[in-house]
Amino acid sequence: MRRKLAAGNWKMNGGKAELDGLATLCAEHDGAAVDILICPPFTLIGAAAQQAEGHALAIGGQDCHASEAGAHTGDISARMLAEAGATAVILGHSERRADHGETSDDVRAKARAAHAAGLIAVICVGESLEQREAQNTLDIIGGQISSSVPDTATGENTVIAYEPCWAIGTGLTPTSDQIGEVHDFIRTRLEKRFGAGVGRSVRLLYGGSVKPGNAAEIFTVSNVDGALVGGASLKVDDFSPIVSVLEGAANAS
């Protein structure tokens, strides 16, 4: 059985003051039946990892370079993230693809680097509103899965997060049927490529305006193994209830 995962992406938000919320999160969910991951800005990874030490909370990065080292001013390698205390890294988020021109080939190279450094690669895929309205969603997702996920992927080192671009930070959420269609499609693609064992072991997260109020419905959808949460993960009062709902779904399954 796949262990469910609640992941929080702080994006370019947060400072030392927000780290206080991690202590509360740890206290409320130590011994939880689900995995919890927080991905703060690079500047907070070391301090966050110290805060989480000894607790059921993992810390991750929001990006890494495909190279282990080199003349890449402003970048950070997967090995550096691991040394700072990270155990995972988000890759291919739609904001990175749009703002920095990252291609699926770039994401695949970064995922390989993450795997080599012992990190879990949380690989993001998703369609734009225009692509959804043109009924091209599955073609887009299929292409991203094929090109972004490296051959080194396993259920232990890879998580895939489906985040429809049009639902990120907008308050819009796809219907349960729409989410289920994409997650079932991803699962089938993974099983065909990697075999049933690996294909069924990779966790699939949904992301895009996940809130305490809609989490319960989302977590009942087929092949949804948790959530990648944006803004709501910055405040423990918003994120902790989502984790609790996911725990309830895990206990019920």
Closest CA to 6 of 91, 84, 88: 88
Q: What's the token pair of residue 188?
A: 């089938």
Catalytic residue among 93, 95, 102, 127: 93
Give the length of the chain: 253
Catalytic residue among 102, 127, 163, 247: 163
Closest CA to 58 of 100, 104, 113, 7: 7
Separation of first and last alpha carbons in the chain: 9
Residue written as token pair 């206290």: 27
Give residue 167's pLDDT. Answer: 87
Using one digit for the tens of pLDDT, what is the confidence trace for 126-144?
Answer: 999 999 999 999 999 999 9
Measured between alpha carbons, how far is 161 from 251 in angstroms, rounded to an integer? Answer: 22
Has 72 been annotated as catalytic? Answer: no
Note the pTM of the prediction, 2 decimals: 0.97
88 burial level (CB within 10 Å; 0-12, 13-18, 19+): buried
Give residue 70's pLDDT. Answer: 97
Between helices 137-148 and 104-116, what is the axis angle to 10°?
40
Measured between alpha carbons, how far is 224 from 180 in angstroms, rounded to an integer? Answer: 8
Tell me the three state secondary structure of residue 70.
Answer: coil
Give residue 45's pLDDT. Answer: 98
Has 93 been annotated as catalytic? Answer: yes
CATH number for the domain that contains residue 223: 3.20.20.70
Q: What's the token pair of residue 162?
A: 């489906």
Q: Can you list the residues of the chain whose pLDDT is less than 70?
A: none
Closest CA to 222 of 253, 199, 247, 245: 253
Structural contact between residues 150 and 167, judged by C-beta atoms closer than 8 angstroms: no
| Structural domain span for residue 75 | 5-252
Q: How many structural domains are present in the chain?
A: 1
